[in-house]
A and B are shown apart, each in its own frame.
Chain A
Amino acid sequence: MKDSPNDKSRYLCPYCARVFDALEDLKTHVFAEHKDEPLRRPEGLIRLKINGEVHEVQVEPNWTLYQLIHDELGLTGAKMFCDRGACGSCTVIMEGRPILSCMTLAIECDGMEIETVEGIAAKEHPLIESYVKHHCMQCGYCTPGFVVTAKALLDRNPDPSEEEVKDALAGNLCRCGTYPQHPKAVLEAAQVLNARREVKNDA
């Protein structure tokens, strides 16, 4: 695999047979000397930032974003529940907005910045702990979708009312009926975040 970044083999210019150690150097050479771009990004190769990390992935045109992040990248937090945009379990945050990854084509996400529940947990967002504390889950299948939706709410509204929390989460389905616990957890997480912000501002 010549295009693997870890490959130690050397790269041969197809025009003048000059040898390069790094693929990037070969690309620069071909473009500068031969006025060509022989290593064009193939169709379907997309680059996106997920939880702060860059991923370059070759996707099929029919893949959903859910398939890409769940099946290909192994981020299992986005869940397949209703399979048609009715339940919110596959929610991820794209460019700051909560979106349904099962209703979004992966190929359209080139250049996008995406946050999943795994990223939210890795940053120790207080929502995770407050969800555990307030027992906002039974089977847990829909829980990541709620957490992501709530995170997107708190990003744009750091101090929501209980009614605003309910409105934000009204589109997420939970077959176990854990609904009454969620607003408590979200409001508590908002308090924790606001307290953190105050400490930061004071310092």
Chain B
Amino acid sequence: MTPNDTQTIHELFGAGALPDAATVDRLHARLVEVAERDGLLDVCYRTMESPYGPLLLVATTKGLVRVAFDVEGHDAVLAHLATAISPRILKDQRRLDHAAAQLDAYFAGRRHEFELDLDLQLSHGFRRNVLMHLRDIEYGATASYAAIARAAGSPAAVRAVGSACATNPLPIVVPCHRVVRSDGSIGQYLGGPDTKRALLAMESAA
């Protein structure tokens, strides 16, 4: 291949430059539609803005399966889900509109409870049991790690409640931010202690 040949290629295929982003977006939307229709879309996701930074929302056909803060690294979360659930993952704004709208209303103080189908498949055993009990803590209220351990039937498992909260796949929606230390201090949070403090302040102000 001489430089002259390469030039000819560029002349020939100069018109074959890579398509622009709008074209790829249009085709992507069509792919999502067909994949959904043919039952090939195992996992879909979108991102949304929140007062606590961008959030990643992920759903399976069963329901919302993951909410992730920016600090967790959205790409890393999706890469993990490709192994943990299925690599058939596509960005799909529409299927998660409902969840995003409820979260928006929550951040605006207009919604106190989420009415969403949840898929808890990322949480197992005792941790999953803990998540079920977290859903009983009402908006604006808090509970101690020890109280949740008692409610979950294992009063001694206070630390395990802490790790269940720390690995909650659905923060905000499953309100692990409402679990605080028995001494009243705030404790750890996936989205950082400042976010936890802010969420609790917002809820108690409403």
Q: Do A and B come from one complex?
A: no
